[in-house]
Amino acid sequence: MEFNGTVLVVDDEPHIRRYIGLILHKLGSPRIIEAANGEEAVALFAQHQPDLVLMDVNMPIMDGIHALEKICAANPDALVVMLTSLATRHVVERCLELGAVNFVRKDTPKEMMAKVLTETINDNFGEAEA
């Protein structure tokens, strides 16, 4: 399938945003918007209503958990996948509780990460929108 939706990539490290962006381009021709912290993410989500959000956890100004909470509270249908560096179980559980649909470790090999993202997209959009 070709994924051509809008994706908000949130990470304070630009090289990670670029790397994730390249993985997303393997899935199709998505429109990618970048945010460097939770606060920017909340604002950009409201402005662009992206189809998918990839959200880092540890960030300055506002962390990913807080941003996830705000985004999901305002948009219960938001599709947020958490990007973790160290998947400590309580962080993952907290995020799933707050409304994240999935999580993936940043150091997951890129093919595997692409697979997780594809599955998330398929599960939530189905073939109709693809």
Partner 1 sequence: MTHPAANSNGQPRIDLSGRRILVVEDDRLNARIIASILRPEGYVTHEVDSGEAALAAFAQFRPDLVLLDVVMDGINGFETCRRLKEDPSAANVPVIFITAKNQPEDIVAGLEAGGVDYVVKPFQPKEMVARIRTHLHLRALVDHQQHLIDDLSKANAAKNHFLGIAAHDLRNPLTSIRGLSEFMLDGSSGELSEDQRAMLRSVHSATHVMLDLLNELLDISIIESGEMRLDLSPTNLADLVTDAAFLNGLTAARKQMKIVCRPFKPSCALLIDARKIRQVVDNLLSNAIKFSPPGTTITVEFSEDGTHQTISVQDQGPGIPPGEMSMLFTSFGKTSVRPTGGEKSTGLGLAICRKIVEAHHGTVSAANREGGGADFRISLPPTATDHGV
Q: Is 107 in the site for partner 1 (CB under 8 A)?
A: yes
List the one residue from 2, 76, 77, 89 that touches partner 1 (CB under 8 A): 89
- Tokens found for residue 125: 């959009």
Site for partner 1 in 110-129 (CB under 8 A): 110
Q: Which stretch binds partner 1 (CB under 8 A): 27-35, 62-70, 86-94, 118-126?
A: 86-94
Q: Which stretch binds partner 1 (CB under 8 A): 37-45, 62-70, 104-112, 115-123?
A: 104-112
- Contact yes or no for 104/116 (Cβ under 8 A): yes
CA distance linking residue 16 with residue 11, whole number of Å: 7
Q: Is 106 in the site for partner 1 (CB under 8 A)?
A: yes
Query: Crossing angle of helices 110-129/14-25, nearest 10°?
Result: 50
- Tokens found for residue 68: 């996830």
Amino acid at 123: D
List the one residue from 1, 4, 18, 73 that touches partner 1 (CB under 8 A): 18
Amino acid at 12: D
Binding mask 22-61 vs partner 1 (x if CB under 8 A, - otherwise)? xx--------------------------------------
The strand ranges marked E within 13-56 are 31-35, 52-56
**Smallest gap from residue 43 Cβ to partner 1 (A):** 24
